[in-house]
Amino acid sequence: MTLRFDKRTLLASTGFALASLMTVGAASAQTEVRWMHIEANAAYLAVWESLVEQYNAENPDVNVTMTFLENEAFKARLPTLLQSDAAPHLFYSWGGGVLRAQAETGQLMDLTDAMMENDGEWANSYTPASLGGLTFDDRIWAVPYQMGTVSFFYNRDIFDDVGINSEDLTDWESFLDAVEQIKDAGYVPIAVGGGERWPVHFYWSYLAMRIGGQEVVDNAKTGAGEGFRHPAFVRTGEELARLGALDPFQPGYLAATWPQTLGYFGDGNAAMILSFQNTHPQQANNAADGQGLSQDQLGRFPFPSVEGGDGLVTDTLGGLDGWAVSAGAPPETLDFLKWFTNEENQRIMAQNRMIIPVAVGAEDGVEDPLMLESALQLGASTWHQNYFDQDFGPSLGRVINDISVEIVSDNMSPEQSVQMLEDEFMLQ
């Protein structure tokens, strides 16, 4: 049998074939979601990579890609990247003044409408405190990821050898006495990463909180009252200088990076470190043997109170971390973020000792005893203050980091530090 095609049939067939090819091409096209982060812990990255692999497999039209930038490089390069065609679609945020400044430039996507859809279903999946800390002027600017608190971690073996009971270190004078005892016994009292500067600002910040209290710190953010001219900030510098005068840190601390500092502590070379809630796995990951101090060798205690100060020992300093979305990000970015930070995935990350979760219902994933202590401390917090170098904005944040290092290393007087803060504040 001979098959005959007239012109119309041939054109229709050709058109159908082209349309089919176009449909296949459209179906196979992928939307890239560019994710930029600062996480260097290989164990944590393995969890994230597994989740990304799962999401990409379940959403073949989307390809989530991950890019790493070291902490300080991230801070330095992100403003430029956000103004370029290579802007990440989602990226790590410490919240506070930095997030507010980014929002004010128009570089961020306002997430309010998306998170408040269906009677706030997405927004209500997080604890109110976590979402509130990423909200300015009733607009949501980042998706919550985790909360954390900075506290002292200590080597139980060294404390036992020196004869120090951590439960006695509730006030600043007792803490300074313990530092001297540890040093007299031949140990390095404290490991700190002065090379990155921000680890030292934990001491200045906590002292400011313990001495000045919440009202004084909040006034400094806005210039209300006496601002940085309040006597509490001079005393903050004086107490930090007292600590520095004891020479409490490891040799070469002014050049030490944070990973090196964690490794130094994990190798058993220092009695204490003022660090994050996930110090246990972090010190192990950076220790020479990859194991570091065991759970039984580690203890923790809150930053002590300061006599005559208006702050409370139950006031906490720490992060409220989230994921910000750049203004030009594709809508698939929000779908991934909603999935990535849901209860199930937050529980997985908590079980892997990565985070204190913010998704409602995921708190039962916190199994590590030290992480659980941090979670309980946050639950009883009378005031949770975001990191000063984030909450006060990029410019003032850098000054706070700088003066902290200069004071503790005896290169700046407390009065000079206050003047630097006041001068920088007036430039804003």
Domains and their CATH numbers in the chain: 31-146+320-377 (3.40.190.10), 151-317+387-427 (3.40.190.10)
Find the mean pLDDT for residues 191-202: 98
Find the mean pLDDT for residues 329-334: 98
Pairwise pLDDT comparison (97 vs 247), residue with the higher score: 247
Find the mean pLDDT for residues 162-189: 98
Find the mean pLDDT for residues 242-264: 98
Find the mean pLDDT for residues 43-51: 96
**Confidence (pLDDT) at 321:** 92
**Neighbouring residues of 424: CB distance < 8 A, sequence distance ≥ 6:** 395, 396, 399
**Confidence (pLDDT) at 367:** 87
**Confidence (pLDDT) at 226:** 96
Pairwise pLDDT comparison (330 vs 14), residue with the higher score: 330
Spell out the SS3 assignment of 259-288: HHHHHHHHCCCEEEEEECCCHHHHHHHHCC
Confidence of residue 16 (pLDDT cuts 50, 70, 90): very low
Is the pLDDT confidence value at 11 over 80?
Answer: no
**Confidence (pLDDT) at 127:** 85
Distance CA 313, CA 73 (A): 34
**Confidence (pLDDT) at 14:** 42
Structure-block tokens of residue 194: 């002065």
Find the mean pLDDT for residues 276-298: 95
Is the pLDDT confidence value at 238 over 50?
Answer: yes
Structure-block tokens of residue 382: 């009378």
Is the pLDDT confidence value at 5 over 80?
Answer: no
Instruction: Look over the chain and give the mean of its residue pLDDT values, rounded to a whole number.
Output: 91
Pairwise pLDDT comparison (75 vs 170), residue with the higher score: 170
Report if pTM > 0.85.
no
Find the mean pLDDT for residues 192-215: 97
Find the mean pLDDT for residues 380-402: 89
Pairwise pLDDT comparison (90 vs 2), residue with the higher score: 90
Find the mean pLDDT for residues 229-249: 98
| Residue 199 identity (one-letter amino acid) | P
Q: CA 208 → CA 165, 170, 216, 312, distances in Å? A: 25, 16, 9, 11
**Confidence (pLDDT) at 133:** 81
Is the pLDDT confidence value at 423 over 90?
Answer: yes
Is the pLDDT confidence value at 76 over 50?
Answer: yes
Is the pLDDT confidence value at 21 over 60?
Answer: no
